[in-house]
Amino acid sequence: MNTDETRIGNSDAPVRENPGSSVAENSPTGRWLGRISYADALALQEEIVARKRADSALPDELLLLEHEPVYTIGRTPNQSSLRGAAHLPHPLFPVNRGGQATYHGPGQLVGYPIIDLRRYEQDLHRYLRWIEDVLIELLAGYEVAAQTRTGLTGVWVEDRKIASIGVGVRQWITMHGFALNVSGDLSAFDAIVPCGIANVTITSIERESGHAIPLEEVGCRAGKLITSRLGELAKQIAPASA
């Protein structure tokens, strides 16, 4: 696991952390972890969720990273999106999130918000739509016009999928999150039915914009945007009647 972390908060520039340090007290802030294995990232999520379940005063956290090549699939009896697992060129992890099979690998920004939704609106549907909106705004900053599609979770550029979302919740504490394709080889998606959607085309910021964008730069922007917009999840208080 890469222990050279970058903290991404509301400051103008990332601040280097010592290995193993926690996020800033003015949470939530993001931690750029670099490239790490799926198993290490999952163990870190589990550790943070366990701590937050034991102590509700702990701050929310946001892990930003890229994975070594790996396939994952959510908790579903329908495994058809794997097309059978024997042919897969990379390891497979069944995980406690929603959704069908997807691929994670170099050039893809993965974000794991670990948020106690009891502090906000306890509405998972709203949380998913919020992640989509944040990613659409992030992509607009790279002149990529993205949108959602009715009945499908994730973010799209016309009919091409650029970001996938799959979350898990334990006692209203979120884990897992989003995967945004930034650059690099997307051919690993060809071995599965991505997100269970037949004949879907997978795209990236690089393919749509024609520019290679450093992954850490996108991660830094994403971290600042997510932390600045988290208040949108707060409970809506109805105005007092006259």
Active-site positions read 195
Max CA-CA distance within the chain?
66
Angstrom CA distances, 205 to 44, 70, 75, 179, 218, stand at: 28, 20, 29, 12, 10
Cβ neighbors of 14 (< 8 A, separation 6 or more) are 6, 7, 8, 32, 220
Task: Give ∠ CA 235-95-157 in degrees, rounded to 5.
Answer: 65
Say how far apart CA 174 and CA 124 lie, in whole Å. Answer: 9
Tokens of 102: 């997807």
- State the sign of the Cα–Cα–Cα–Cα dihedral 58, 178, 101, 214: negative
Cβ neighbors of 36 (< 8 A, separation 6 or more) are 1, 2, 65, 67, 68
Tokens of 166: 């799959």
Bond prior to 214 in cis (omega within 30° of 0): no
Task: Give ∠ CA 162-165-170 in degrees, rounded to 5.
Answer: 165
